[in-house]
Structure 1
C-alpha cells in the first residue's frame, strides 16, 4: 500500500490523466501496432500465403555466391548480405554511396534466388532461377513477397510513418509518456496486490458505470504494470539511441560518418576497399563456416555478412537470431576468416567482445520485441499489448465520465469509441487495400493502395458521427452544461430530470455507435481470411500438408474474433 497525502494524490492523478489524454491517441496506435507486429514474420507469411519454409541458411551457397560475384561489378564486393525471405535466398552485393539527401546508404545489386533450384542436385549454376534482380538503394526496391501491409504497421509502430528522425523522436516521447503514466499509476495504487484480484463490479446506475470502468482499468493496469515499464523504457531508449546517441557520436568523433561510427561502436572490422581486391582470391569456405557456426551455436545462421569478398582481409559474420535458439534468448554473432574458414571470435552489439553492457543492450532488444522464447513469448507480449490498449481506452472513458456534465467534454466523449474501434478497423481496412493491389492488375502503387484502405477505415469510423448528429437534431443532446447557478431559476426536480434525460440520450447514442462499430469490425475480421484464400487459392488442407500452421492459426483468430464481435452486435452487449 502506497500512502500519499491528499494534495499529492490530486497532483499524481492530474499528471496521470493529462499525460494520457494529450498523447493517448498516439500511444494507443503505437501499443496496438506493437502488439500486432510481434507476429511480424507470421503475418508476412499469412498475407502472401507463403508455405512453410525455413528462415535459416542451411544450404550449400558457396558456389552460388562465387557465380553471382563474377556477374557483379567489382566495386560492389565490399559488403555481401545473405538471408532467406519467404522461400527465396536474397544476396545483396553493395557498397555505400550518398543518396539524394546526402546520406551514406547501401547501394548495390540484390538477387532473389529460387531455393528449389539450389537444393536440386541436378540444377547447374546457369540453370538456377534468379527470381528478381534489382539495382539501387534498398529503400527503392520492390518487395514481390507481399509483406507491405505488415511493414506499414511496423513503420507505424517504430516512427508513426513520420519521415526521418522526427518519427523516432515522436515514438521516443510516447515511450517516455507511457513511463510517466506507469509511474504515476503505480503511485496512485493504494492496494496494489488487492487490485490484481479485483473483479469489476457490475454497474447498477450511472455511478456504478464509472466504478465498473475504474475497476476494469485498475485490474488491467496492475497486471500490465511490469510490461508497461519494460515496453516504455526499452522503446524510449531504442528510439533516442538511434536518433540522438549514434548521430552525436558520429558528428563529434567521425565527422558525421554514421557508418564508420557504427563500425567502431559495434566492433565490426573494417575491410579493404573493393577496388583493391582481385578475382583470383575467392571465398571458398562459406559452407564450412555455416557448419562450424551451427556446431558452436546449435543453430544455423539466419543471416550471413561477407566483408571484403576476394581480399586477404575478408571476414564472414554469421547471425543467429533470438527466438530460434532454445537455450538462448539473445542474438548471437560469430566472426570467421573469409579465406581459411577459421573461427576468430564471438561479436556483440557494442564492442568487440561480449560484455555486461552489450548483453544488457541485446536483452533490451529481445524484451521490447518479445522474441526471446518463440511463440510462447510472442503470445504473452501480444496479450499484454492488447490488455494495455484496454487500459488506455478505459482511461479515456474514466476521464470523460467524470466530466460528462460539461457540454464541451460531453461532445468529445464520442471520440472514445471512434478511437478505440477506429484504430483496428483502419489497419484491417489497410489490409484490404494491400490485397486489392496485390491481386489486381490496376496500375496503382502498393503504398497508395494501403493508404487508401487506411483512409477508408477512418472514413467508416467517422461515419458513426451520423448517429450523434441525428440524436442531437431529434433530442437536443447537446444541451448546455448543468451548472450550480441554474438552481436559482430552476427547481431541483427540473434539474434532476434534465440531467437524467441527457444521460438517457447520451447512453442511447453510445449504444448505437458501439453497435455500428461491432458490426464493421466483425465484417472486416471475417472478410480478410476469405480474401486471403480467394487471392492465393491455398486452403487449410494444402497448408496442413505443407506444415504451415501459422496461416491456419491466424485465419482462425480472425474468424473467432469476428464471430465474437458479431455475437456482441446481435446481443447488444
Structure 2
C-alpha cells in the first residue's frame, strides 16, 4: 500500500473512531489512579485507620459477612493485606443473579458499606464507561472495534512518519497554524504510539474475550438464579488457603472466587515472588471442588509458558503498574494523548478539505474564464 493511501486510511479511521477512542483514553487516564480517587471520595469505606491487629481468618470473615448480609451470597473477593485498604467483596442477592459491592474491614470483620450496584461509585462507573460505553454487550463490541482501530492508528502512524527522527523535536512556531499542528501531531503521535499500541492490544484482548464469552454463554447460565451457598458448609477456606500456600511457594492470596454459577469452583488467586515486574498480583493460584474441597489444579506463573506469562502481563501493562507511581503517571499522560491527536488531526483534516474545495472552485472559475 502506498504512503498516500495509508495516510487516507489513517485519517478516515481516526475520524470514524474519534469519539469512542476519546472516551476510552480520557476515562482510562483517570482510572489509572482509581485507588487514590476512591480513598479521597470514600475514606470511611475504602481506607482503614489505626489498624494494629492481624487479619481475621477467612472462615471468620465469611461467617461475619453472612451474618451482616443475610440476603446475599458471596461471589468474588479482592483481598488487601496492607493495613490501609479495605477488602472489596462482590455479593449476589439471593433469588437473583444481581451483583453488588461492599467494603469489608478484614481486621474487625465489619462491613463498611451497604451493598450497591457495581457501577454505583464514581470510579466504578468510569470503569464501566471505559469498558462498555454503558451499552452492555454492544458496548463491549464497540470497545473491541475501537481497540482494533487504535492499534491500526498507532502502527500506521509510525509507518507514515517512519523518518520522524529527522525533525522529532521541531515545532515550527513561525509558520502557519496548520504547519505547527502538523509538527505537534507527529511529535505527540510518535511519542505516545508505543503506549497506545500496548493499550489497544491488552484492552482489545479483554473485550474480545468478554464478547466471545457472552456469545457462547449457555441458556442455563443465562437463566441461573442463586438461592443459597453453592459450596459445602464443611469446607474450611483457611485450610484451602494453607494448602495453596504449601503447593505454591511464596503464594499470597489477593483474590478469592466462590462457586457463584454452574461450572465455577472455588479458586484462590494471588501473587508469587518473581523478578519479572510484569507479572500481576493474580498470576498464580489453585482451584478446589466446591462440593468437598478436594484439590483440582494449580498454576504457578514462574513455571508457565510464554503464552500464559504474556497474557498475565496484560494487567500491569494496561494499567501501567509495573514500575510503581512513575509508570502510572507516564501511562496516564500518554494514554490521554488521543485528546490532542484528535484535535490536531481534525484541524489538519478540515484544513486540507477546505483547501481542496477552494482549489476546486478556482479551477471551476478558470474553466469559464
The answer (yes or no) to whether the contact 2:147–2:203 under 8 Å persists in 1 is yes
Partner SS state of residue 17, structure 2? helix
Aligned partner of 1:198 in structure 2 is 169
Aligned partner of 2:255 in structure 1 is 303
The structure number with the bigger radius of gyration is: 1
| 1:168 shift after superposition | 0.9
1:94–1:22 distance in 2 versus 1, CA, 3 Å: closer
Correspondences of 1:219-258 after superposition (within 5 Å):
219-243=187-211, 245-251=212-218, 257=221
Aligned partner of 1:493 in structure 2 is none
Q: Does 1:159 align with 2:132?
A: yes
Q: Which structure has more helix as a fraction of its residues?
A: 1
For 1:359 and 1:390, the matched residues in 2 are separated by 34
Aligned partner of 1:404 in structure 2 is 354
* TM-score normalised by L of structure 2: 0.74
Aligned partner of 1:391 in structure 2 is 341
For 2:131 and 2:151, the matched residues in 1 are separated by 17
The answer (yes or no) to whether the contact 1:306–1:315 under 8 Å persists in 2 is yes
For 2:348 and 2:137, the matched residues in 1 are separated by 34
For 1:154 and 1:217, the matched residues in 2 are separated by 28
| 1:158 shift after superposition | 1.1
Aligned partner of 1:373 in structure 2 is 323
1:37–1:347 distance in 2 versus 1, CA, 3 Å: same
Residues 267-314 of structure 1: CA distance to partner in whole angstroms, max 9, x if unpaired?
xxxxxx947845xx3527369739948x9447x533333559xxxxx9
The answer (yes or no) to whether the contact 1:58–1:290 under 8 Å persists in 2 is no
CA RMSD of aligned residues (A): 4.6
Aligned partner of 2:37 in structure 1 is 43
For 2:185 and 2:230, the matched residues in 1 are separated by 62
| Match for residue 14 of structure 2 among 6, 17, 20 | 20
| 1:200 shift after superposition | 0.8
Correspondences of 1:32-111 after superposition (within 5 Å):
32-49=26-43, 53=48, 59-61=55-57, 62-69=59-66, 81=77, 83=79, 87-91=85-89, 94=92, 105=97
Which structure is higher in RCO with an 8 Å CA cutoff and minimum separation 6?
2
The answer (yes or no) to whether the contact 2:133–2:139 under 8 Å persists in 1 is yes
For 1:345 and 1:11, the matched residues in 2 are separated by 52
For 1:248 and 1:236, the matched residues in 2 are separated by 16
79-88 or 220-229, which moves further after superposition?
Answer: 79-88
* TM-score normalised by L of structure 1: 0.50
The answer (yes or no) to whether the contact 1:12–1:188 under 8 Å persists in 2 is yes
| 1:368 shift after superposition | 2.1
| Match for residue 185 of structure 1 among 157, 160, 168 | 157
Which runs of no fewer than 5 residues in structure 1 stay unpaired? 100-104, 119-127, 261-272, 309-313, 410-480, 491-573
Partner SS state of residue 173, structure 2? coil
1:165–1:487 distance in 2 versus 1, CA, 3 Å: same
Aligned partner of 2:306 in structure 1 is 356
1:28–1:348 distance in 2 versus 1, CA, 3 Å: farther
The answer (yes or no) to whether the contact 2:277–2:322 under 8 Å persists in 1 is no
Residues 428-448 of structure 1: CA distance to partner in whole angstroms, max 9, x if unpaired?
xxxxxxxxxxxxxxxxxxxxx
Which runs of no fewer than 5 residues in structure 2 stay unpaired? none
| 1:40 shift after superposition | 1.6
Paired positions, count: 351
The answer (yes or no) to whether the contact 1:286–1:338 under 8 Å persists in 2 is no
1:248–1:292 distance in 2 versus 1, CA, 3 Å: same
Partner SS state of residue 327, structure 2? helix
